[in-house]
């Protein structure tokens, strides 16, 4: 078959665009991925104990975008799931995002009552405040609390995760986990919070299951012998790699995932435990059965050890949102602009943006509407 479109990458971005082209334009699409599976970083599969695990770290779906929810719901049923996280701070387990229960766990009743009163006066109930904003408070009690949270919940975790000072990162990074003025202990507060009933990979199989779509795995873009024969190429891999790093490497963070299976039904109380302290090398530990509600006499957990990205050793998981990297990104965007008639750069790695899954879907849908249809 002759394909009009080549899509490089079978993650969310690539799969969504492929499906839209196949269905709405009735055009043949070839999707390639250098890994030996579809689903990109959302790939899941059963481990040796039959427990559904996420190969590239825990993926929890949440969105406020109706178009994203409606699109994916054509390909999967859902299990409602609200993610909850406990963090180990001062040898105690506290809810993260840091909330009123966290205050009551860490401080005496008298202190907690005063702090909560001041927080409510300053912000109102059931409000989420980024830590960096809370630290600017003129109220002595609020400021002291904010400094405590910054030191004990954010600083060391962020150093471990990014190997940077928090101020070097775009403030949006720390704002992802705001302080909760109130008792809400959910990690996300989006309208839709759910996991695909049979897992991400089954959902991807459905998205890509269309007569106009062919998928070739274990295939690098560099292995494609006839790139000029495609009407358009949509590239979802790292943008700097595409241009052979001609302006220098865009840095990424990588992670080592350690999977541990226990001969017991459950090991922790909630989906994820965060470990902000330097006494632990890992940042968090997730027990998959909390996310999937699977029944199994055993349980598998995943520890995450952040590390520098090295193209020979590991994979580029996180673009690093700093000012310096934005400047370098602009150089690659300028290169991309010159060839935009033939090649489009879309997705977490090609846009070099810290997209959640729903943002990757939204980006794919929007790209199709604006650039293809």
**Where does this chain bind ligand UDP (CB under 6 A)?**
87, 96, 153-154, 157-158, 161, 173-174, 176-177, 274, 276
Instruction: Please enumerate in sequence order all residues whose Cβ is within 8 A of that of 166, keeping only pairs 6 or more positions apart, or say none.
Output: 132, 150, 154, 155, 158, 173, 174
Interaction with ligand FAD in 239-278: which residues (CB under 6 A)?
255
Q: Pattern 31-60, binding to ligand FAD, x per CB under 6 A?
A: -xxxx----xxx-------------xxxxx
**Apex 193 CA angle, 95 and 46, nearest 5:** 90
Whole-Å CA distances, 363 to 236, 243, 342, 356, 371? 11, 22, 19, 10, 11
**Which residue of 196, 306, 319, 347 would you call a contact of ligand FAD, by CB under 6 A?**
347
Distance CA 357, CA 41 (A): 10
User: Is residue 161 involved in binding ligand FAD (CB under 6 A)?
Assistant: no
Distance CA 95, CA 237 (A): 36
Among 9, 196, 251, 271, binds ligand FAD (CB under 6 A): 9
Which of the choices ligand FAD, ligand UDP, none does residue 360 contact, using the CB cut-off of 5 to 8 A by kind? ligand FAD
The yes or no reply on residue 8 touching ligand FAD (CB under 6 A) is yes
CA–CA distances in Å: residue 188 to residues 68, 165, 194, 227: 17, 25, 11, 41
**Please, which residue, 158 or 212, has the CB nearer to ligand UDP?**
158
Helix or strand holding residue 109 (H, E) = helix 109-123
- Residue 292 binds which of ligand UDP, ligand FAD, none (CB < 5-8 A, kind-dependent): none
- Considering only CA atoms, which of 289, 359, 274, 352 is closest in space to residue 61? 359
Q: Should residue 332 be labelled a site residue for ligand FAD when binding is judged by CB under 6 A?
A: no
Secondary element (H or E) of residue 112: helix 109-123
Nearer to ligand FAD, 40 or 199 (CB): 40
- Contact of residue 11 among ligand UDP, ligand FAD, none (CB under 5-8 Å per partner type): ligand FAD
Of 4-12, 156-164, 174-182, 276-284: span binding ligand FAD (CB under 6 A):
4-12
Residue 55 CB neighbour total at 10 angstroms: 18
Does 362 bind ligand FAD (CB under 6 A)? Our answer is: no
Cβ-proximal residues to 278 (8 Å cutoff; 6+ apart), any chain: 156, 159, 160
Total binding residues for ligand FAD by CB under 6 A?
33
Q: With binding defined as CB under 6 A, does residue 349 bind ligand FAD?
A: yes
d(CA 59, CA 137): 34
- Closer to ligand UDP by CB, 4 or 156: give it: 156
Residue nearest to ligand UDP (CB): 157
Q: Give the residue from 224, 238, 360, 235 showing the smallest Cα distance to 311.
A: 238
Smallest distance, ligand FAD to C-beta of residue 9, A: 3
Residues in contact with ligand FAD by CB under 6 A are 8-14, 32-35, 40-42, 56-60, 220-221, 236-237, 255, 317, 347-349, 355-358, 360
């Amino acid at each position: 078959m002759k394909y009009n479109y080549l899509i490089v990458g079978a993650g969310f971005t690539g799969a969504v665009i492929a499906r839209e082209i196949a269905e709405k334009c009735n055009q043949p699409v070839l999707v390639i991925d250098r890994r030996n599976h579809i689903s990109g970083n959302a790939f899941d599969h059963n481990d040796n104990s039959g427990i559904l695990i996420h190969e590239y770290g825990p993926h929890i779906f949440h969105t406020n975008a109706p178009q994203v929810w409606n699109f994916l719901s054509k390909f999967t049923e859902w299990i409602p799931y609200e993610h909850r996280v406990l963090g180990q701070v001062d040898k105690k387990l506290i809810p993260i995002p840091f909330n009123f229960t966290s205050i009551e766990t860490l401080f005496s009743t008298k202190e907690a009552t005063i702090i909560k009163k001041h927080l409510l006066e300053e912000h109102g109930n059931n409000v989420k405040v980024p830590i960096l904003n809370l630290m600017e408070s003129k109220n002595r009690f609020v400021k002291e609390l904010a400094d405590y949270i910054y030191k004990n919940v954010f600083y060391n975790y962020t150093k471990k995760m990014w190997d940077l000072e928090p101020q070097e990162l775009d403030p949006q990074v720390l704002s992802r986990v705001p302080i909760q003025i109130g008792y809400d202990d959910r990690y996300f507060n989006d309208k839709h919070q759910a996991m695909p009933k049979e897992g991400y990979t089954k959902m991807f199989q459905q998205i890509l299951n269309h007569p106009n779509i062919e998928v070739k795995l274990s295939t690098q873009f560099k292995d494609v012998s006839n790139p000029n024969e495609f009407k358009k190429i949509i590239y979802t891999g790292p943008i700097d790699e595409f241009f052979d790093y001609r302006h220098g490497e865009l840095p990424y963070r990588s992670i080592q995932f350690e999977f541990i299976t226990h001969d017991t039904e459950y090991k922790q109380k909630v989906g994820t435990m965060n470990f902000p302290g330097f006494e632990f090398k890992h940042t968090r530990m997730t027990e998959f059965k909390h996310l999937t509600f699977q029944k199994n006499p055993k349980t598998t957990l995943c520890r995450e050890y952040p590390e520098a990205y090295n193209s020979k050793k590991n994979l580029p998981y996180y673009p690093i949102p700093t000012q310096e990297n934005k400047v370098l990104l602009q150089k690659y965007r300028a290169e991309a602009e010159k060839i935009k008639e033939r090649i489009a750069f879309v997705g977490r790695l090609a846009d070099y943006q810290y997209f959640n899954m729903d943002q990757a879907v939204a980006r794919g849908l929007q790209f199709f509407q604006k650039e293809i249809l």
